Structure 1
Amino acid sequence: MSYALRTSLLIGPLLLFLGVCYFLPFLGIVGWSVTLPEPGLTQYHSALSDPLVHSVVLRTLRICLAVTLVSVVAAYVIALVWVRGTPIQRLLVELCILIPFWISVLTRAFGWLALLSNRGLINEWLQAIGIISAPLTLVRNEFGVIVGMAHFLIPFAVFPLAAAMRNVDERALLAARGMGARRSRVFWQVFVPMTGPGIIGAALIVFVFALGFFVTPAILGGGRSVMLAELIYLRIFQSPNWGLAAAISVLLMTGVGMFLVALLKSIAPRTDR
């Protein structure tokens, strides 16, 4: 059996599964976007010209960028301890990374709601020790959404960062130290650039995941920080306009696809040299 045939037999079932479970439903969404309530591109025009959609898109991008920044920075510190810490530190970090995967996103969102609400533990504690006199507004706004989303996505960013850190050539670090560079300079000018692919991969994973978040923004945003996924839900179930919801979904998928293609082309090694 040839190598190409073995590869096709291994990859074929996966491609078939992806096609049946994802591509065919997406074609159905595309069909809705050009047929409901009547055939044409009216819904795409509405999606591209509606000020409400524009504001939701800007809010979604703003929140996703903030979540990506917070998640990647926090994940970098965690991955650094995981890869280069003591055995006890590594064990503790592994537990902190794995335990969140055992808790559903709904449970985490309600947990943050209990912590950040006006009568939550954080506000009550701050008031009890006299730091604040009135509760801080920590939920039903973008801050609460960013906190909840970052908490969920940090573990996903840790793995590509840890993989990149494990691939760092220790000889380069030793060479920099041998030439008189301080530890801080070795870290920022040698170690961090060598983990660049991991940083890009982690940021890509977090940003794409964040674009499709629904449960966490709906609970912690309280309807005041609506993101694209929640807007699509509202257009389907509360103010029925399936054609507009489908058009927004297609535009979102297209935008994400174009973003991924552009990013991969920009970071791919040039093969013509």
Structure 2
Amino acid sequence: MTDPADRPTLSPVRPRLGVTARYWLLILPALALMVVFYLYPISKVLWMSVTEPQPGLDNYALLATSASIQRMLVTTARISVISTLITLVLAYVVAYALVHASERVQRWMFLGVLVPLWISVLVRAFAWFVLLRREGLVNNILMSSGLIEAPLSLIWNETGVLIGMVHYMLPFGILPIYANMRDIDQRCIAAARGLGASRGVAFRTVFLPLSMPGVVGAGILVFIFSLGFFVTPAILGGGKTLMVAEYIKVQILEIVRWGVGSMLAATLLVIIGALLALLARVVDLRKLFGAI
């Protein structure tokens, strides 16, 4: 008979965590950081918008009664829409050229598209300030070539703000449109050409409709970024072209009207959330932002 001491001892069975529990344990640190540094500040902003200087919706009533706020909102909307439209036109042309370029040319074009993303928005705004001022390179070239007799006013107005914003937004317009164009089956265009359509007709009736989801996605993305612009309008606008982000800064830091500033921030947050929800219905956000 076998000695009981020689028998193998069985270790006690330890309960295993379920898949759901392990999932929550993995995301718990990121969730805690989001709650502390994102959700809590946003909730404070929403709370202040209805409690400062006194409880109620008086701050939100200013959206309908304050002429200065309405004028600022109209300026923000106008600049955002114009900059989005210009960005989409330029981005579509660049993305179309990227799709039909050779691999070697594509690498150089992508370098030109991505390099601006590596440069601070503050540096780019100051660079445009140097180029567009009355004694800047742009006016000097135009005057030396005889195209103008006096320097053009290209900064401290909406023109300078638009130039700076479009330059910053171009990569955010090019990449989504390119990602959509790259997935278009070129055999559809070849089939249209084979049926007798010219290049223009094939582009207008086949390629353009198939590329519209990328255009719509890029348009909403660029418009969302445009609504919250601060550095570029502050530098190139010279305080004469107030957009919502700079107006919020003035209300909080200079006039010390926390309620009005937080109300505008909350309004901007709601608008951006609605636009993101609309964007999610048009394109796959995971694919748009580079997820697999």
- Using the size of structure 1 for normalisation, the TM-score is 0.91
* 1:234 maps to 2:256: no
Deviation at 1:52, TM superposition (A): 0.5
Q: Distance in 1 between matches of 2:283 and 2:239?
A: 40
- Where does structure 1 lack aligned partners over 5 or more consecutive residues? none
Amino acid at match of 1:118: R
* 1:164 maps to 2:162: no
Deviation at 1:27, TM superposition (A): 0.5
* 1:62 maps to 2:65: no
Alpha carbons of structure 1 residues 106 and 197: separation in structure 2 relative to 1, 3 Å: same
- Where does structure 2 lack aligned partners over 5 or more consecutive residues? 1-16, 285-292
Amino acid at match of 1:30: L
Contact 1:47 1:244 in 2 (8 A): no
Q: Distance in 1 between matches of 2:83 and 2:20?
A: 42
Contact 1:72 1:199 in 2 (8 A): yes
Pairs aligned (count): 268
Moved more, 63-72 or 42-51: 42-51
**Structure whose CA Rg is larger:** 2
Q: Distance in 1 between matches of 2:28 and 2:173?
A: 29
Q: Distance in 2 between matches of 1:210 and 1:55?
A: 17
* 1:25 maps to 2:21: no
Contact 1:33 1:243 in 2 (8 A): yes
Residue 128 of structure 1 is matched in structure 2 by 144
* 1:84 maps to 2:100: yes
Q: Distance in 1 between matches of 2:107 and 2:99?
A: 11
Amino acid at match of 1:206: V
Give the 5 Å matches for 1:1-273.
14-262=30-278, 264=280, 267=282
- Using the size of structure 2 for normalisation, the TM-score is 0.85
Amino acid at match of 1:191: F
- Identity of counterpart residues, as a percentage? 41
Q: Deviations over 1:62-119 (max 9, x none)?
A: 1001111111111111112222112342122111112111210000001111111111
Amino acid at match of 1:130: G
Amino acid at match of 2:62: S
Alpha carbons of structure 1 residues 81 and 243: separation in structure 2 relative to 1, 3 Å: same
Deviation at 1:200, TM superposition (A): 0.9
Alpha carbons of structure 1 residues 113 and 27: separation in structure 2 relative to 1, 3 Å: same
Q: What RMSD, in angstroms, separates the aligned Cα atoms of the two structures?
A: 2.1
Contact 1:81 1:93 in 2 (8 A): no
Contact 1:138 1:144 in 2 (8 A): yes
Deviation at 1:7, TM superposition (A): 6.0
Residue 5 of structure 2 is matched in structure 1 by none
Deviation at 1:241, TM superposition (A): 0.6
Contact 1:116 1:144 in 2 (8 A): yes
* Equivalent position SS for 2:149: coil
* Equivalent position SS for 2:53: coil
